[in-house]
Amino acid sequence: DVAHDFEATFTQLAEEDRNNKDKPIIFFTSKVTTGLGQRLSDYIGVSAASTPAVWIVSPANKDLSKFPYKGDLTADGIRGFLANWRGNSLEKHYKSAPIPEKNDEPVKVVVGKNYDDLVVNNDKYVLLEFYAPWCGHCKALAPEYAKAATQLAEDGSEVK
């Protein structure tokens, strides 16, 4: 069965990688429907329907970057995944809404996938509002925030 074969492959890879000093990895398996495993799977975005699954969760740079493996669950495939992670050639996974197709209004929509581009790697000052669509205070602030953004844009402000 797939789960048993995966468990054997995973154990083999953990054993092979045990003495690797270049970006060491702690291999572990987790349940996804109970306890701490459920909380971790919710954070990562793994469901019981998508198991078995391989993810690297890396605490580098004081964040928990997530890298999902999307290939076949073979030893060679996972070895390649580990090598790509160690070579910094994997793209981080964000639990994010899609980037809006149109985003040229004074108030920009920032999601996980465009946060670095619009906020972190920006040479302008950024005024950022965290908005919850169900929140009455957020809904009341939205038109005032849009007015302020429009005024700042018209004035050529450094704040974006």
Q: How far apart are CA 160 and CA 158, in angstroms?
A: 6
Q: What is the mean pLDDT of the chain?
A: 87
Q: What is the mean pLDDT of residues 61-77?
A: 86
Q: pLDDT tens digits for 33-44?
A: 888 888 888 888
Q: How far apart are CA 101 and CA 113, in angstroms?
A: 13
Q: Specify the pTM.
A: 0.66
Q: Give the helix/strand (H/E) hosting 62.
A: none
Q: What is the mean pLDDT of residues 24-39?
A: 86
pLDDT score for 100: 92
Q: How far apart are CA 112 and CA 41, in angstroms?
A: 18
Q: pLDDT tens digits for 81-112?
A: 999 999 999 988 877 888 999 998 888 899 98
Beta strand segments in 18-72, E: 55-58, 65-68
Task: Indicate whether 53 pLDDT > 90.
Answer: no
